[in-house]
Structure 1
């Protein structure tokens, strides 16, 4: 039937071509292909044999504009909120990418939005857990704790650790040189911004004012733009399509931030907190130094107990001088389905499972490093009633199988 229709179309087109002036003939639509689309058994027209990844649409669009050296990095802070999905809808419609610096407490409440951000190819950055200045900037260890807390929440949702970090309120007046150095040594990339949209200067900044602030900002070849998708920023959502159109009219393309992007960082200054406590060398050696391995290309460690398997990334485990795997007890056991509690009076850890007697770990059985207790993986598994059957090694993965 399709081929008959095609033949009729060709005949009609030929007749029209004879009656039209030459300058109008080129405006006629081309005839459809004689080869029909593949159909399923039900008669529905099929798409490609392999469905494209959802986020490839805006990335493909960007590849078509690679010739432009002028780049804008749109960044959104304080989400996710109910507004984040609206922002994502606009970005999807416009086929551009952005970077979302998320709060841990909000990510925990809306994991489905975090998954959508990741699935659609946008970048996720760490904006601490609760955004409270009085908790974050008096000593680095408190800032670090919130970074790690949020990092773990995002990892559990997406399977990846955010390496990008943005300080609530920006680094000026908050970060000293030590904050910058410790985060860099730990493997993180800290980003401030070039362009402040002003959408958080006060409550309810109108969309017209947000756009005006953008347009008044000096243009550079590469710019990081500060926006917000947290609660109360409906006007930012309203202004977003116009912001995108403005930069496109100036010849800019949009990209997501990566750890390799040259960071935008404010100079150290302002009213830094007085009597700030610096971390000790011992704290740095047990927290900062191992953390950098999380973002290295070292092999992960897969541990399978029966049909349950989990993985520790490089930096989440270490190898002793004798060649034994040493693991953090809580992270290891809770990922395998157990529950770990700590008794501060007795300095003991209790591991419990359903239908199993609790296992008590006493101080002589483990070592304390920072906020975690560590012990050899083999010892931990054997005390839990499991026997290692096989150990294998690879360039990207080390594997331990137990029963």
Structure 2
């Protein structure tokens, strides 16, 4: 290769490397705090919808289905809070697990209460953890017994073998039955939402999916989970994370990092029932 062409190639490679390095540095700098909305805090939202994008080839409910559930079942199915208060609800699925105590320690450090949607078989196994979470002021909800896709199934399966069975387990472990429910994968039918309401349960979905169920497998997963929340945060968000179902150490670290950032931005942390004004969360 002629010397001039070689020099140009070297300069081009160096330029690309410097560009990538600069992008990485900028990505790791703390983002600016989000500005408050100009809408009055008590103004009702025109609609509820999921803010984060859908990832193909993962077993998650289509965003349009989730948005439709909230629109067709007002006061029964929820994606987010109803107004524009500077509040956020952290929610965690699939526990309890060996990672849950460390997460509870982080929440306790910041005096933050969260909402946990737990799997019945894990509540049985980690009953001490469940009782601790309740005693520390967190809200507990039902996430079925074994985490199946319940949409389109018969009631003697989704209720008798899954949700109702988990209600009985909660009764034995903490002395009461939750009245908040989150369907695995966000998949549920409108008929099931209505039937659950007849059982006294509200259906809680989310407006921000941190995708920690995927990012915990990544290098620098903690950073990516944190950035995802910071990118899509909004007033009265319901944020989906996980304390079970796999390795969750990066989720715990991300929560530890993002809570002080959100507090600096003026966000108050509340449980889902507080956010939505649900007065009764157990029976």
Q: TM-score range by the shorter chain?
A: 0.5 to 0.7
Equivalent position to 1:164, from 162, 177, 180: 180
Cα distance, 1:136 vs structure 2: 5.9
Cα distance, 1:242 vs structure 2: 1.3
Which structure's relative contact order is higher, taking Cα pairs within 8 Å and 6+ residues apart?
2
- 1-structure distance, mates of 2:126, 2:272: 22
Alignment size in residue pairs: 194
Deviations 1:124-147 (A, max 9, x none): 0000000022x6643233111211
TM-score normalised by L of structure 2? 0.64
* Conserved 8 A contact 2:142-2:166: yes
- 2-structure distance, mates of 1:229, 1:80: 7
Equivalent position to 2:259, from 235, 244, 254: 244
SS state at 1:105 partner: helix
Quickly say closer, same or farther: Cα 1:177–1:136, change in 2 above 3 A. Answer: closer
The structure where strand makes up a greater share of residues is: 1
The structure where helix makes up a greater share of residues is: 2
* Conserved 8 A contact 1:136-1:142: no
Partner of 2:214: 201
- 2-structure distance, mates of 1:242, 1:111: 28
Partner of 2:237: 223
SS state at 2:185 partner: coil
SS state at 2:196 partner: helix
Cα distance, 1:203 vs structure 2: 5.3
Partner of 1:338: none
Cα distance, 1:260 vs structure 2: 8.1
SS state at 2:213 partner: coil
* Conserved 8 A contact 1:163-1:259: no
Question: 5+ unaligned residues in a row in structure 1: which ranges?
Answer: 1-67, 264-293, 296-403
* Conserved 8 A contact 2:86-2:267: yes
Partner of 2:120: 104
- 2-structure distance, mates of 1:137, 1:200: 24
Partner of 1:184: 197
Cα distance, 1:69 vs structure 2: 3.5
> For the aligned residues, what is the CA RMSD?
2.2
Partner of 2:165: 149
SS state at 2:217 partner: coil
* Conserved 8 A contact 2:180-2:201: yes
Cα distance, 1:164 vs structure 2: 0.5
Matches within 5 A, 1:286-365: 295=283
SS state at 2:140 partner: strand
SS state at 1:97 partner: coil
Cα distance, 1:262 vs structure 2: 5.9
Partner of 2:133: 117
Partner of 1:6: none
* Conserved 8 A contact 1:197-1:227: yes
* Conserved 8 A contact 1:76-1:99: yes
TM-score normalised by L of structure 1? 0.46
SS state at 1:258 partner: helix
Equivalent position to 1:253, from 257, 268, 281: 268
Q: Which runs of 4+ in 1 moved over 4 A?
A: none
- 2-structure distance, mates of 1:186, 1:107: 21
Partner of 1:84: 100
Equivalent position to 2:249, from 227, 234, 240: 234
- 2-structure distance, mates of 1:256, 1:191: 12
- 2-structure distance, mates of 1:219, 1:120: 26
Larger radius of gyration: 1
Quickly say closer, same or farther: Cα 1:201–1:262, change in 2 above 3 A. Answer: farther
Q: Which moved more, 1:160-169 or 1:230-239?
A: 230-239
Deviations 1:160-187 (A, max 9, x none): 11110000011xxx32221111111221
Cα distance, 1:150 vs structure 2: 0.8
SS state at 1:244 partner: helix
